[in-house]
A and B are shown apart, each in its own frame.
Chain A
Amino acid sequence: MRDSFSDRHPLVNFLFFAAAVTFSMFVMQPVCLGLSLVCASAYAVYLNGSAVRRTLRWLIPTAVLITLVNPLFNHRGETILTYFPWGNPLTLESMLYGFASALLICAVALWFSCVNRVMTSDKLVFLFGRVAPSLSLVLSMALRFVPRFSEQLRQVKQAQACFLPRGKQHVIQRLQTGLHIFGIMVSWSLENAIDTSDSMKSRGYGLKGRTSYARYSFHGRDAVILAAILTESAALAGMLWSGMLRYRWFPSLRGELIGAPSAVFYVLYAALLLTPLLINIGEAIEWKRLRSSI
């Protein structure tokens, strides 16, 4: 599916994700966690379709692990369910807190899966190429590295398979081959990085006065969206600062979940997190209207 949010100016994309990830990480309140998780998964499904399943394959076990591990190390809370064999209590609050932090990690991971799709490396270089040339180059190289590495690994494995005798190998032999391939990969990636940086240097990347072509331009629509994101973020940050969204997990769960001021926060938060989907829906409606008017 075509994502209109990706067509907006990179600054808009970047600021949206910065705000979404920051608020998701720091607002540990049940309703806000749920909102963030729902919005993140909706956008991730919209962007990646059924490929989200691959992310979920490792995300769900991680979440379960966090939920189970937290009570082992965290014994705060006033509702004691039972005692561990080594004497410390297992509390309800620590389990709930573990579950909440698992949800938080899921939400942030899903947001980052969206970041990977939307913030392509050319956008990163466009945004930060001037301010921090080497940092943005390293960042874009690092983002490109993992898919390129796995592709190269596949090729090297195939080539190595030609050399080796057929049949089942001894564990130690397989270990040797693995080490060999690993060595090849390490030298390949180092050489590749040097090649890239040499190539960029010879083109005068990061030099003063060098201009670069950018296919992004800042439209009026971008300004409107940017203003919306900034005002919403400022309002949310202000409300958080005033402490009315405070939620206490230990020793007992306490905090105002329902109420006029928190409802305002929820609406603003949902509006901020749904920005990309709302843009897409708006575009779809516009497109339908234009088509029917022909």
Chain B
Amino acid sequence: MIDFVKKYKFVFLAAIVVIAALVFAFISGGKSEPPANQSVPTTSAISKIPMTTAEPQPTQATTTAATAAPSAQPTTVHASSKPVASTAPPSQTATQPPTESHAPVTTASAPTSKPQPTAPQTKPAAHHCTVSVTCETALSRRDTLSEDVAAVIPDDGSILKPVTMTYREGQSVFDVLQEACRANGVHLEFTDTPIYRSAYIEGIGNLYEFDCGAGSGWMYRVNGWFPNYGCSRYTVQDGDVIEWLYTCDLGNDIGGKNDYHESD
């Protein structure tokens, strides 16, 4: 047996080195930098995940970017954000986001997945969004809930009143929620695997998923639209109004009906 080990010493060494490299990659890969986040909306838009973000002045953004870099080089990732449907009603955006209209826009900016250092200077640094957390659906059902759950629900159904948050470029809805909760002393529990950017909100203000039945949990709405993907995949845009809503019925009671559930 000792001979066996001696003979394949290098094989064992190589295996250990490979495992160590993988472990290192797993750990360090967790800390993704904001510029790396930037690249994902373009790639996800190609894979037909709808990315309907409401840009307040989309035309202005593109023009300023164009003056800064008049060459044919495609500009910032902000230019890729959809200039249409900024004030569209929520139902419309929710039902038909992956239209063909903005597909060319995203493909145009796809080659520049790398962040451009000039971009932040051309844009005025006014990164603000609004975050609020409410549980009105749970409040209306308070009498049917157990004593312990009912004690958690505030009387006005608002766990976090709308607050204006300053965010850094490339931060996701999840990052902003976490910062807002910390700043206001609101309890927040989540599970998150940063390399997959799969943050899932389990409970806010000690009101947890499944507290009001099997179909209950936290959902988020941005400018009246329920994105059908995770909150750490949504990159916040300037002026976004982010609402975290508690649902008791898989989103049906707050207007965030999921298309996947409609099919089955």
Q: What is the distance, in angstroms, from B80's C-beta to the closest C-beta of chain A?
A: 29
A145 at the interface (CB under 8 A from B): no
The residue of chain B having its C-beta at the shortest distance from the C-beta of A89 within the complex is: B187
A78 at the B interface (CB under 8 A) = yes
| B206–A80 CB distance below 8 A | no
Contact indicator B206/A176 (Cβ below 8 Å): no
How far does the Cβ of B178 sit from chain A's closest Cβ, in whole Å? Answer: 6
| Distance A248 CA – B206 CA, assembled complex (angstroms) | 13
Cβ < 8 Å to A, chain B residues 121-164: 147-148, 151-152
CB of A83 within 8 A of CB of B182, answer yes
- Closest residue on chain B to residue A93 by CB atoms: B206
Beta-carbon nearest neighbor of B181 in chain A: A89
**What's the minimum C-beta distance from B218 to chain A, rounded to whole angstroms?**
14
* Residue pair B190, A88 in contact (C-beta under 8 Å): yes
Per-position binary interface string of chain A over residues 242-255, scored 1 when its CB falls under 8 Å from any chain B CB and 0 otherwise: 00000010110010
B185 and A251 form a contact (CB under 8 A)? no
Which residues of the partner chain B approach A83 to less than 8 Å between Cβ atoms?
A: 182
- Determine the distance from Cα of A173 to Cα of B3 in the docked complex, in whole angstroms: 12
Q: Is A86 an interface residue (CB 8 A)?
A: yes
Given A76-B189, A77-B187, A251-B152, A172:B206 Cβ within 8 A: no
Q: Of B1, B5, B187, B190, which is within 8 A of A251 by CB?
A: B187
Residues in B with CB closer than 8 Å to A91 are 187
User: From residue B196, how far is it (CB to closest CB) to chain A in Å?
Assistant: 14
Determine the residue in chain B with the shortest Cβ distance to A87: B178
19 contacts between A and B (CB under 8 A): A75-B187, A75-B189, A75-B203, A76-B206, A76-B208, A77-B187, A77-B206, A83-B182, A86-B192, A87-B192, A88-B188, A88-B190, A89-B187, A89-B188, A172-B2, A173-B2, A250-B148, A250-B206, A251-B187
CB-defined interface of A143-158 with B at 8 Å, one 1/0 digit per residue? 0000000000000000
Which residues on A sit within 8 Å (CB–CB) of B152? 251
Q: Which residues of B contact A88 (CB under 8 A)?
A: 188-190
Residues of A within 8 A of B5 (CB): 172
Q: Is the CB of B187 within 8 A of A87?
A: no
A interface residues (Cβ-Cβ under 8 A, vs B): 75-78, 80, 83, 86-89, 91, 170, 172-173, 176, 248, 250-251, 254
Enumerate chain A residues within 8 angstroms of B151, measured Cβ to Cβ: 248, 251, 254
Residues of B within 8 A of A (CB): 1-2, 5, 147-148, 151-152, 178, 182, 185, 187-190, 192, 203, 206, 208
Tell me the complex Cα distance, A254–B203, Å.
Answer: 20
Q: Kindly list chain A residues whose C-beta atoms are within 8 Å of the C-beta of B182.
A: 83
> A250 — which chain B residues lie within 8 A by C-beta?
148, 206
Q: How far is the CA of A170 from the CA of B147 in the complex (A)?
A: 63
| Alpha-carbon gap, A263 to B250, bound state (A) | 45
The smallest C-beta distance from B32 to any residue of chain A, in angstroms, reads 14
In the bound complex, CA of A76 to CA of B208 (Å): 9
Evaluate whether A176 and B185 lie within 8 angstroms (CB atoms) in the complex, with A77-B206, A248-B148, A251-B206 already known: no
Q: Beyond A248-B148, A250-B148, A250-B206, is A170–B189 a contact (Cβ under 8 Å)?
A: no
CB distance from B257 to the nearest CB of A (A): 30
Q: Choose among A77, A86, A251 the residue with the greatest number of B CB atoms under 10 Å from its CB.
A: A251
| Contact across chains for A76 and B203 when beta carbons are under 8 A apart | yes
Q: Give every chain A residue within 8 A of B148 (Cβ-Cβ).
A: 248, 250
CA A91 to CA B152, docked complex, whole Å:
16
The answer for the CA separation of A199 and B188 in the assembled complex, in Å, is 62
Residue of A nearest to B189 (CB): A75
Q: Is B190's CB under 8 angstroms from A80's CB? A: no
C-alpha gap A86/B30 in the complex (Å): 10
B208: chain A residues within 8 A (beta carbon): 76
Q: Which 3 A-B pairs have the closest CB atoms?
A: A251-B206, A75-B189, A172-B1
* A-chain residues with CB within 8 Å of residue B1 when the two chains form the complex: 172, 176
> Can you name the residue of chain A whose Cβ is closest to the Cβ of B206?
A251
Q: Which residues of A contact B190 (CB under 8 A)?
A: 87-88
Shortest Cβ distance from B178 into A: residue = A87
- Report A11 CB to chain B, min CB distance, Å: 39
Measured between beta carbons, the chain A residues less than 8 angstroms from B192 are 86-87
- With contacts A77-B206, A250-B148 taken as known, whether A89 is within 8 angstroms of B189 at the C-beta atoms is yes
**A170: nearest residue on chain B (CB-CB)?**
B2
